[in-house]
Amino acid sequence: MANTAAFADINGLREIRRSPASHLARALEAGSMPGTVVLKEGAFQTMAGVRVDPRSEEGARIASVAGGLPARCGDVSGRDGVSVLWLGPSEFLVVAPEEAHDSLGGDLIGSLTAALGDAPGQVVDLSAYRTTFDLSGPRARAVLEKGCALDLHPRSFTPGTALTTEVGNIPVVLWKTGDESYRLFPRASFADFLGRWLLDAMREFASPEVP
C-alpha cells in the first residue's frame, strides 16, 4: 500500500510540474525545421551544484557517487546517465535524469550530500533553478554564433565540451552534446527571454526558402 501511495505521489508531482518555457512549446515547434535547425525545451532533469576540492577525501567520495569529477575547463565526466560539468577548479554541475531526484524516488542529491558530510564545500539542489534547451541541426552553430562570443568551430568546441558563457546576453552553461547538437542551461527566470531570442535567431534558417 505504501509503495502504491508513493507511486501516486510521484505521478502527481510530474502532472503539476510546469517547466519554465512550457508556454513556448508551440512556438518552438513552429519555429523549428527538421533537417535544418530544431529547438526544444528539454525534459526536467536532476541538477546539483557542487563545491568541493577534488583533491580532498570528500572530493573523492563525491567523485565515486557522481562517476568522477572533471579536471579541466570544458571537461565533462560521469557514468550511468549522470554527467558532471566543470564550472571552476572546485565547482561542478551534476546533471542526471528526472528519476534520479530524491523527490521522485531517486537519491542523487542525498547521496552527494552524504558524501560531502561535514567537510568544507556545498551541495545544492538546482533542479528548479535551471532549465534546459536542446538546439540541434546543421544550422545550430550559426544560430548560436549570432549571440555567443565563444569560438564554436568544431576544431575548438568539440562534442563533449561544456563551458560557461553567454548566449543573447544570457548567462548559460553551453554543452556540445554531438556534432550538430547543443544543450543550454539558463536560469529558469531567463527561460522565456532566451527561448524567444533563439527563435528569432533561427528565423532565417527555419524558412523553407533558405537552401
Amino acid at position 206, single letter: A
Nearest C-alpha neighbor of 198 from the set 2, 54, 32: 32
- Give the amino acid at 69: L
Q: Which domains does the chain have, with CATH numbers?
A: 20-42+131-211 (3.30.1360.120), 44-128 (3.30.70.1520)
Closest CA to 92 of 71, 116, 114: 71
pTM score: 0.88
pLDDT, tens digit, 9 for 90 and up, residues 127-185: 999 999 999 999 999 999 999 999 999 999 999 999 999 999 999 999 999 999 999 99
Paired with 18 in beta bridges are: none
Can you spell out the DSSP letters for 16-43? H---TTGGGHHHHHHH-BTTTBEEEEPP
Q: How far is CA 125 from CA 59, 135, 157, 171, in A?
A: 18, 25, 28, 19
Read off the pLDDT of residues 152-163 as tens digits, 9 standing for 90 and up: 999 999 999 999
pLDDT digits (tens, 9 = 90+) for 40-82: 998 889 999 999 999 999 999 999 999 999 999 999 999 999 9
pLDDT at residue 210 tops 50: no
What is the distance, to the nearest Å, from the Cα of residue 131 to the centroid of all Cα atoms in its chain? Answer: 7
% of the chain with per-residue pLDDT over 70: 90
pLDDT number for residue 160: 96
Q: Which three cell numbers stand for residue 114?
A: 552524504
User: Has residue 28 got a pLDDT over 50?
Assistant: yes
Q: How confident is the model at residue 4 (pLDDT cuts 50, 70, 90)?
A: very low
- pLDDT given at position 3: 45
pLDDT at res. 105: 83
Which residue pairs from 12-15 have beta carbons closer than 8 angstroms and sit at least 24 positions apart in sequence?
13/103, 13/104, 14/98, 14/104
Q: Which H or E element spans position 181? A: strand 181-186
Q: Is 80 exceeded by the pLDDT of residue 12?
A: no
